[in-house]
Structure 1
Amino acid sequence: MSKKMLNFQSDTPRNSRQTPRKKRTSAPVGEILQYTPPQLRENAAGIYVEFYAYDPSLMRMRRKTIKLNRVKGTLRRRQYAREIIGRLNNELQHGWNPWIEKDTGTMYLFEEAADRYETHLERMYEGGYFRKDTYAGYKSYLKILRHYIEKECPIRYVYQFDRRFCTDFLDYVFIIRGNGAQTRNNYLHFLRLFSTFLVEKSYLNSKPTECITPISKRLYKKERTSIPLEQIGKMGAYLRHADPDFLLACYLLYYCFIRPVEMTRLRISDINLAEGTITIPADASKNRTRQTVTAPHKVLLYALDRGLFDAPGDCFIFSEGLRPGRTQIDPKKFRDHWEKMRRALRFKKEWKFYSLKDTGITAMIDGKKLSNKAIRDQARHSSLAITDLYVDHGDGADADIAVLDGAL
């Protein structure tokens, strides 16, 4: 039917998204296909075709009129109206809905699609394709998305998961929840994966996230919270007596920059005493590549003193009680030990366990005994630009540069 020839009108705005979405109650998908047979109407306003069709955005039947005043002559209008009614009946019987621009064949319930995606995540995790932390992260993103739909912006059908919905959700994460730019980008990555799943399973014809871009890393500097070095010394003295096994974990984070989740996957055999190195296997590394870092003598001697190498090499470095063992622990164990120490020393709440890595990198740079390249390799950064984020670029003159007297 040519929209160019017809004048579509209704008693409500055509674009229902001009008004805020209202919370909806449960309704079967079959409601989308509900309609009344088109009828010819004649009154003082003229000749028109009228019918009702279910509008899923309003959860009720909505009146639709097609005026025929542009067709000259009463007989011609009536004839044209009969032709329109015939075509409308055929389209309505095949699922067409005037209030939905999308194909009604894809009008699936969003919650059903979300449940199917959650099952997909579980299968990927059980099959070993996802790590535990990756699986937990995706589940968390999905939980927040469902909370947003329930409390902030209710949608019922998959077709409503469109670009506008996605951008509104990202604004909710970034502005309302007050998360940082990196967190907003992480949610966008999740939405892209979810959109790909919906397209692959024929819930949608295209990805609603295709034109949504992440916030460029050039526009923000990653927030880093360093702990004053005098407090680091105070912490070390306390842990040597109060929690000596946790101190080893602090050493690995402060000197070797090994992430907490990676520590839980390391085994004693990953430490090479002769070479003075620690190898993070591909299946333990964040970026799934095998990497080696230098273990300072201080770290190795402390590990020897704690009897770490008395246990079999295939034992995890940190197991129950942060002692070597066969059971892999949750990274949360480190945070629990940190919180106990933080309260005892009355450290600031913003000083987290992971702050030791930022503090260690900054201390290496400020010490000026190592090149940025060496620090980059130790921190396993992909480029010097990332290492440079830890550098405090002062406004004053550099004393060493000020006294330079080169060959020229």
Structure 2
Amino acid sequence: MDENENKKFPYKLAKLVEGKRKYIEYWLWSIEKNKLVRIRITQKDKVNELEVIKLNKKIEKGNIYLLSNSELAQKEREKNKTNILAVDALELALENSKTRMRGKSTNSYKTHVTLFCKFLNDNFEGIELRNLDTTIMEQFLNFYQKEKNWSAKTRNTYSQNISTLVTDLKKLGYIRENPFVGFATQKVKNSSSHRAYNAQQRQILKEKISIENPQLWLMCCFLFYTFARPNEVRQLKISYIELENNKIFIPAHIAKNGKDGRVDMPVQLRQLLIDSKIFDYPSNLYILGKEGNPSNECHARYSFSKKYKIIKDSLGFESAFTLYSWKHTGVSEAYKNGVDILEISQQCRHWDLNETRTYLRSLGVYSSEKIKNNFPTL
């Protein structure tokens, strides 16, 4: 039982106050402050004489009080949320987002927030979160796109990431609506920053890499056959290879999308792994171990990419060709050899087919054989 339940506390009865805006005012005892605290009701449908009468019947009993002033504390918190500065709110959202993001994504968001906050401090010092609008976002993007020569893709990524954090703030009650939802993006031209290797290029690279660095060649094969990403492959353990059903498990903690997944293992990769004798080692070891064989420690994140670049450059390949190009090559060759787009999408672990179609178009291989070969003659 509440020790204060049967006590009598001072109060001031409710009254209707007339003015530019009518409200009901009354005073109750605050246990936390040890004094009377004024309370106002401004809700239109509650401001009337009948409501005053109802309130006074309760107040006159003398045992109504504010428990630890919780109602006022809550109001103060809500007020602070409403009036929070935009830069403070974005820093808070960034901190909260770290629990759901992976390292690279967290760094990207931090870079974007830092630059946006700098722009706000330089041009809109002291602006509150609730006063952000699309005009400010447009000015920010235009300024830095010109100053830093951003591509349309970079510009869009900045606006999308900042908008994502503002949506988080909306969920936390700091803002009613996200002003950046639906913000116009710039059209992105198809990029050739990653390209697929043709048959001749593949043979040249295979002859060079398989002899000079067999482990690096195994990395290339993983990318080609599984459509996995270099950072995922370098962290694969022997136990993730499921020979009984020709699958490879990619756990959430290494997957780019942060979710457990499995990809099919083509027979060529299966045989390559068997021939490499990796199953002679304990299953808890990394396949591409740091010492050149399966071991307890995997390579650093960009170790394979750096080694690959040295060999690729020595053969005169353009900068657009990278280690990642083996993934693009595998996808491209699979599609050209008749693998269904749905199966490619599943192997890529894409969210939907539209993502896969866009990917195939960027590689220049998504087309209709029926249109090319079965079109009627005019």
Q: CA deviation at 1:258?
A: 0.4
Uncovered stretches (5+) of structure 1, i.e. residues with no partner = 3-102, 404-408
Cα distance in 2 for partners of 1:349, 1:163 equals: 37
Are positions 1:379 and 2:348 aligned together? yes
In the comparison of the two structures, how many residue pairs are matched? Answer: 293
Are positions 1:167 and 2:124 aligned together? no
Query: Contact (CA 8 Å) 2:239, 2:283: kept in 1 or not?
Result: yes
**Cross-structure match for 2:224:** 254
Query: Contact (CA 8 Å) 1:311, 1:324: kept in 2 or not?
Result: yes
Cα distance in 2 for partners of 1:376, 1:210 equals: 28
Paired letter, 2:141 = L
Paired letter, 1:251 = C
Are positions 1:191 and 2:162 aligned together? yes
Q: Deviations over 1:348-381 (max 9, x none)?
A: 1121222222222122223x34333333333333
Equivalent position to 1:355, from 304, 318, 325: 325
Q: TM-score when scaled to structure 2?
A: 0.63
**Cross-structure match for 1:140:** 111
- Residues 371 and 134 of structure 1: CA distance in aligned 2, closer, same or farther (over 3 Å): same
Equivalent position to 1:401, from 355, 374, 378: 374
- Give the alignment of 1:71-90 within 5 angstroms: none
Q: CA deviation at 1:140?
A: 3.0
Q: CA deviation at 1:240?
A: 0.9
Are positions 1:315 and 2:285 aligned together? yes
- Residues 197 and 253 of structure 1: CA distance in aligned 2, closer, same or farther (over 3 Å): same
- Residues 148 and 325 of structure 1: CA distance in aligned 2, closer, same or farther (over 3 Å): farther
- Residues 162 and 263 of structure 1: CA distance in aligned 2, closer, same or farther (over 3 Å): same
**Cross-structure match for 2:311:** 341
Paired letter, 2:113 = L
- Residues 110 and 350 of structure 1: CA distance in aligned 2, closer, same or farther (over 3 Å): same
Cα distance in 2 for partners of 1:382, 1:369 equals: 21
Aligned with 2:226: secondary structure? coil
Q: TM-score when scaled to structure 1?
A: 0.59
Q: CA deviation at 1:196?
A: 3.5
Cα distance in 1 for partners of 2:322, 2:156 equals: 22
Cα distance in 1 for partners of 2:256, 2:148 equals: 27
Are positions 1:285 and 2:255 aligned together? yes
Cα distance in 2 for partners of 1:323, 1:155 equals: 56
Cα distance in 2 for partners of 1:396, 1:200 equals: 47
Q: CA deviation at 1:345?
A: 1.8
Query: Contact (CA 8 Å) 2:87, 2:120: kept in 1 or not?
Result: no
Are positions 1:268 and 2:238 aligned together? yes
**How much identity, in percent, do the aligned residues show?**
21
Cα distance in 1 for partners of 2:80, 2:244 equals: 67
Equivalent position to 1:370, from 323, 339, 353: 339
Cα distance in 1 for partners of 2:284, 2:270 equals: 18
